[in-house]
Chains A and B, each alone.
Chain A
């Protein structure tokens, strides 16, 4: 599944395969498309890096197009914006979590995309295309990691199972469901216990109940990385891309572990707003964002896994994503549309069985 295509990605990247069409896309300024588009995506370091590695290069390739980057908050807030503007869209392209864009697709807020409109679709991993169905495909892959304080967790964290170590009692920050980190952790713990999460999560819930007394907060605010760096906790759940960046910014204080027991992908899709004011420019931007140049630049800057199979990622950056040969075998496939059907049930079990066991 996803591991397979990431394996292919790594081989393709290492073989330095170059598609002529992409080279042309990267080098020839296109003046035929013009106007202004509004891109809605995440704020903070995502915005800083996406503007530098994707938006600005795009504007150099399409000098007559101006991209306004609007930080849209969470994926749910972006969906709210799209819902509110359904009859008069003010946005053209939205990057959001696949579990939320799926809802927008169901409500007819986003356009169906074809290779005729977006040629880069032909270069994507099949799973990246499948993440959006006929609609906007995956533009980044991320995955759940354990982040820890390298100064206060000795020896360094090497397995998921170590979370149950008594020395970490009261030192954990775990994002509980409905946060997707909590859902992903449930899948990982189920696998650790030898269970198939699609059949039963009973073994996972049993183990998580045992973990609950060690958890200081089930809702780390503002996030686990910050709580670790200010010394409030020692270990937390997090997303790889941000964790890798903060690892560098903190000179290695924040450690990042993709547990050998496995991890789960988080997928961001890129979506063209239905009825947007500048469809041609929106499609051109989407095509560029999914293209080899943008995928390579953003992965090497922020360590999101690429969704373009032909993107030539440097081996050093690739090793810090789930696309590296070593990491890809650890990934556990999750169908987020299936997850949407069991999320409430899992959420209730966490509240009644896991969090309740950790009340102090």
Chain B
């Protein structure tokens, strides 16, 4: 019998469900409702039930550009985070060192620091007078500072770093199927370590990779602080556009419509993830 079908078990889920209803579902309905209001030429918002804002959004080719920018940035940062986190996670999963817990804490340590503070840390490290440029200039490798922030490069670096702890956690959680004995069996049959990794370890860790990649991709798509602070006004993605419409131009219906659009986009990715997971499991 499934755990949830046992009498009384559903009640255990009630508190969390109630909290989610109040803090997430209800505001999301409010947001969706806002997107149907009308913005008058002077900027005033008029309660209404109109699709005018969605029509305006669809007609503006800049929104397609924003979507592609968001997907490209999220894809790149998530993939870099995966490549960097995978060996670390595998080591943490396999090591029998008595410092294993300490090492795991170090790997996810950045989560203990506020995201805005981390971004300002990157500005200090990657800026014209930062650590990296000072070293490059001191070594005579460059004659003038290399621009590492206030552009796509800076945002990609910052976003990759901010995703790393989540990727490590997701991979560690998903490595459950990795069995040393299967790898030992492959080696006993003459497979070299690299071949064991490609034919055994990697396929067995695919569910973890898919899980980690999806979680981080969704986080990257909705990331706002890093593109805003490290982008220098040059990096336009959906999340920064929502902020701009809500705070700078005070066009709340458009900000709400863009948010609903982002949500639908992410649901589509989740659907694709579900399909991919079923295929991996088969």
Contacts and interface: CB of A to CB of B under 8 A. Distances in A.
Contacts of B247: 74, 76-77
A155 interface: no
A337 B42 contact: yes
Contacts of B244: 178
B249 A216 contact: no
Contacts of A57: none
Interface stretch (A101-109, A138-146, A198-206, A256-264): A101-109
A64 to B, nearest CB: 36
Interface string A168-180: 0010000110110
Interface in A177-227: 178-179, 216-219, 221
A9 interface: no
Given A79-B250, A170-B147, A179-B248, A218 B234 contact: yes
Interface in B115-172: 123, 127-129, 145, 147, 150-151
Interface in B13-68: 40-46, 62
Chain B interface size band reads 20 to 34
Interface stretch (A17-25, A286-294, A343-351): A343-351
A107 B44 contact: yes
A96 B251 CA distance: 17
A71 B57 CA distance: 33
Contacts of A344: 249
Given A221-B229, A337-B42, A351-B62, A359 B234 contact: yes
Nearest to B129: A231
Interface string B242-273: 00101111100000000000000000000000
Nearest to A358: B234
Nearest to B249: A178
Given A217-B232, A343-B249, A360 B43 contact: no
B233 A76 contact: no
A28 interface: no
A232 B147 contact: no
Contacts of A348: 62
Interface in A325-360: 337, 340-341, 343-344, 347-348, 351, 355, 358-360
A76 B246 contact: yes
B151 A360 contact: yes
Contact of B40 (A76, A106, A175, A359): A106
A96 B134 CA distance: 42
A133 B151 CA distance: 42
A355 B234 contact: yes
A166 to B, nearest CB: 13
B86 interface: no
Interface string A104-123: 00110000000000000000
Contacts of A99: 43
A103 B44 contact: yes
Task: Specify the main secondary structure of chain B where it touches its partner.
Answer: loop
A74 B246 CA distance: 11
Nearest to A74: B247
B232 A218 contact: yes
Interface in A295-353: 337, 340-341, 343-344, 347-348, 351
B77 to A, nearest CB: 19
Contacts of B147: 170, 216, 360
A54 interface: no
Contacts of A77: 247
Contacts of A74: 247
Given A217-B233, A232-B129, A103 B250 contact: yes
Contacts of B249: 178, 343-344, 347
Contacts of A341: 41-42
B127 A232 contact: yes
A55 interface: no
Contacts of A79: 250
B137 to A, nearest CB: 14
B129 A219 contact: no
A280 to B, nearest CB: 28
Nearest to B43: A103
A219 B233 contact: yes
A100 interface: yes
B175 interface: no
A355 B233 contact: yes
A359 B232 CA distance: 10
Contacts of B250: 76, 79, 100, 103
B248 A359 contact: no
B60 to A, nearest CB: 9
A74 B147 CA distance: 30
Contacts of B151: 359-360
Contacts of B43: 99, 102-103, 106, 340
B128 A218 contact: no
Contact of A232 (B41, B128, B246): B128
26 contacts: A74-B247, A76-B247, A76-B248, A79-B250, A99-B43, A103-B45, A106-B44, A170-B145, A170-B147, A178-B244, A216-B147, A216-B150, A217-B232, A218-B233, A219-B232, A221-B229, A232-B127, A337-B42, A340-B42, A344-B249, A347-B249, A348-B62, A351-B62, A355-B233, A358-B234, A360-B147
Sort A-B residue pairs by CB-CB distance and give the 10 closest, nearest first: A218-B233, A106-B44, A219-B233, A217-B232, A178-B248, A103-B43, A217-B150, A76-B247, A76-B250, A107-B44
Given A77-B247, A347-B249, 20 more contacts: A76-B247, A76-B250, A79-B250, A83-B45, A102-B43, A106-B40, A106-B42, A106-B44, A107-B45, A107-B46, A175-B233, A178-B248, A217-B233, A218-B233, A219-B231, A219-B232, A221-B229, A232-B123, A359-B234, A360-B151
